[in-house]
Chains A and B, each alone.
Chain A
Amino acid sequence: MSAADVTVAVGERRWVNRALGALAWLVGLLVFFPVFWMVLNSFKSEQDANTSPKLFFDPTLDRYREVTESAGGVLSFGEAFTNSAVIVLLSTLIVLALAIPAAYALAIRPVRRWRDVLFFIISTKFLPVVAAILPIWILARNLDLLNTQLVLVILYAGINLPLAVWMLRSFFREIPRELIEAAEIDGAGLRGQLSSVILPLAAPGIAATALLCVIFAWNEYFYAVQLNPAEGSTVPIWVTTNVSTRGEFLAKLSAASVLACIPVVLAGWIAQKRMIRGLAMGAIK
């Protein structure tokens, strides 16, 4: 329940409500402007894009055609998208498969030293990615994992696991104890409790967690560019290939950017309410 559940509070002057609403719109449009401009530019010719800001122009899909054409030897749009999709999907599934039981062991039937375990798990995120890249790169090379999808699947799972465990633990703590106890008495073990009580009740929280993992995995650039510059390259890498040192590229870059961002943006837009509800439900406790 929040202030937004009341349309106009009794006695509040209508103009205050309208003014704040207008302010919100103004802020929203301002913040959104770069995105809007990027989308606009993606439909322009390079000439149009590289002159003083133009609102009206002849729209064209040529930039999109350009960036999605496979030019031999260079990372293609199709390849990058496939790689990203596979890597993000697999790593998120792995994260959930590991984090759900772990959260169970930290929230529902906690191990004795759950606080220490939680500290440790979160502390792994304090290790900067840049610090770890060296040994990881060497290990990957020795294990012949450079330029593969597998190496990124594993690394992204490792990057997102701490956050997932943290969030899922909080969500699981919101489940009424009695429900778990009832299931326990009725004969359900870990699997039974998960399927009949925990997963159904924590579903919004699990969805919010999964979404965050997808966002971070899809958008990751550093590990991807260091480990997979040739093969298994992901969408963020592909976007950077659309920057030229000669000539103008802004429109092309805009088109590539739009394509790169669409999946996660759409997912985020659709799931935003669930995300907020999930976070409100208990990510913070």
Chain B
Amino acid sequence: MDHTVIRPRMRPALSDSWRRRLPLLPALLFLILLTQVPFALSIFYSLTDWKVVPPGPREFVGLDNYDSLLHDSFFGEAIWTSVRLTVFPVIGALVLGTAFALLLDRKFFGRGVVRTMLITPFLLVPVVVGLIWKNQLFHGLYGAINWVVENLGGTPVEFVSEHPTLSIGIVLVWQWTPFMMLIVLAGLQSQPTDIVEAAKVDGAGPFAIFRQLTLSHLRPYLELGILLGTIYLIQVYDQIAVMTGGGPGSTNVPYYVYQRSIGGGWEFGLASSYSIVVVIASIVIATFALRVLSTLLKGEQIA
């Protein structure tokens, strides 16, 4: 039979290193352009006294902005609020999410429906969530929660105005629990059954199995949840904007920076310095979080 002989094409090849880098470049360049340019500009603005309203000349003032920042008590408050609105919701969502995942990890009637219900909060638009909770559930007069409180004999509580941090915290936990739950569910699903079976044969009860086997298997999943949850919750803005519009107890750092810049303060120079401080703080937190990352990545070999 007359066969087409396969003669391998001898194309001049790029060096192996560059052939590997090529697919990465578009994404990398895109990201660098989009993030590093604004960052560099921010640094530049932070060293000026640029005010947009009232407009004035933009002069280089060195580190003055950073100096005034250190004496800004509102900034300190904002940091404290940020801590409370990040740490507690992350932990809360993680614990609840794990609990829900464990509940869902068994077969029962209508399991799919329950799971569908439990993941819904994460799918909703954050501003919607903030608005609905504020105006419907937390409402002092006809909110659903206060209806329950009244019927139990208590006095209605003005959640949003009297307990802003708590209110926003509850909303964040409600919205982010499904996210954690999904991650933990994935972790439970990937647990090898033979080890659990061996433990059962050896006489371990469900609590022992969970504590000693499941928890350690879930560790990378929990760590990922903490990492991603922290990244996203540190930057929360939407719910604060629509629920309280800032104010004591609910202004976290991003919102405060917003207030000083395009949210009314119009002090671009000063606000930029705040941004840079936030970036530096984020890098510090990031280094810590990245150590979590490297535990996640450590088990991998270079292919």
From A25, which residue of chain B is reached at the shortest CB distance?
B114
Given known A134-B268, A239-B125, contact A27–B183 (CB-CB < 8 A): no
Given known A119-B290, A165-B27, A276-B185, contact A24–B42 (CB-CB < 8 A): no
Q: Are A264 and B123 in contact (CB under 8 A)?
A: yes
Which residues of B sit under 8 angstroms from A125, Cβ to Cβ?
231
Q: How far is the CA of A129 from the CA of B262 in the complex (A)?
A: 13
Interface size on B, as a range, is 35 or more
Residue A108 is within 8 A (CB to CB) of chain B in the complex:
yes
Q: How far is the CA of A241 from the CA of B26 in the complex (A)?
A: 38
Most buried by B among A119, A268, A279, A284: A284
Q: Are B128 and A128 in contact (CB under 8 A)?
A: no
Given known A126-B282, A135-B37, A154-B34, contact A280–B24 (CB-CB < 8 A): no
From B36, which residue of chain A is reached at the shortest CB distance?
A124
Residue A3 is within 8 A (CB to CB) of chain B in the complex:
yes
Which single member of B30, B127, B132 contacts A158 (CB below 8 Å)?
B30
Q: Are A128 and B275 in contact (CB under 8 A)?
A: yes
Q: Are B42 and A135 in contact (CB under 8 A)?
A: yes
Q: How far is the CA of A215 from the CA of B189 in the complex (A)?
A: 23
Q: Are A27 and B103 in contact (CB under 8 A)?
A: yes
Residue B190 is within 8 A (CB to CB) of chain A in the complex:
yes
From B104, which residue of chain A is reached at the shortest CB distance?
A24
Q: How far is the CA of A5 from the CA of B23 in the complex (A)?
A: 41
Which single member of A35, A136, A280 contacts B186 (CB below 8 Å)?
A280
Min distance, Cβ B62 to any Cβ of chain A, angstroms = 19
Which residues of B sit under 8 angstroms from A277, Cβ to Cβ?
189
Residue A64 is within 8 A (CB to CB) of chain B in the complex:
no
Q: How far is the CA of A196 from the CA of B268 in the complex (A)?
A: 52
Complex interface bits, B1-39 against A, C-beta within 8 A gives 1, otherwise 0: 000000010000000010111111011101100110111
- Dominant SS at the B interface? helix
Min distance, Cβ B279 to any Cβ of chain A, angstroms = 6
Residue A265 is within 8 A (CB to CB) of chain B in the complex:
yes
* CB interface residues, A 109-166, toward B, < 8 Å: 109-112, 114-115, 117-119, 121-139, 154-155, 157-158, 161-163, 165
Min distance, Cβ B46 to any Cβ of chain A, angstroms = 10
Q: Are B127 and A239 in contact (CB under 8 A)?
A: yes
Min distance, Cβ B4 to any Cβ of chain A, angstroms = 13
Given known A173-B300, A280-B187, contact A221–B126 (CB-CB < 8 A): yes
From B231, which residue of chain A is reached at the shortest CB distance?
A125
Given known A101-B23, A132-B39, contact A162–B31 (CB-CB < 8 A): yes
Which residues of A sit under 8 angstroms from B242, Cβ to Cβ?
240, 243
Residue B246 is within 8 A (CB to CB) of chain A in the complex:
no
Which single member of A28, A122, A283 contacts B117 (CB below 8 Å)?
A28
| Interface 9-mer from B65-73, B159-167, B253-261 | B253-261
Can you show 11 pairs from A to B with CB atoms below 8 A apart?
Answer: A32-B117, A98-B27, A104-B23, A134-B262, A250-B135, A257-B131, A261-B125, A268-B120, A269-B123, A276-B189, A284-B296
Which 9 A-B pairs give the minimum distances between C-beta atoms?
A: A21-B108, A101-B23, A131-B275, A279-B186, A135-B41, A105-B24, A130-B254, A102-B27, A28-B114
Q: What residues make up the interface of B, taking CB atoms closer than 8 Å to A?
A: 8, 17, 19-24, 26-28, 30-31, 34-35, 37-39, 41-42, 45, 100, 103-111, 113-128, 131-133, 135-137, 142, 144, 147, 174, 177, 182-183, 185-193, 196, 220-221, 224, 228, 231, 234-235, 237-238, 241-242, 253-255, 257-258, 261-262, 268, 271-272, 274-276, 278-279, 282-283, 285-286, 290, 293-294, 296-297, 299-300, 302-303
| Extra inter-chain contacts (17) besides given A31-B117, A222-B241, A243-B242, CB under 8 Å | A3-B105, A20-B108, A31-B118, A34-B144, A98-B30, A106-B24, A110-B302, A128-B234, A128-B278, A130-B254, A130-B258, A132-B35, A135-B42, A135-B45, A139-B38, A221-B238, A239-B128
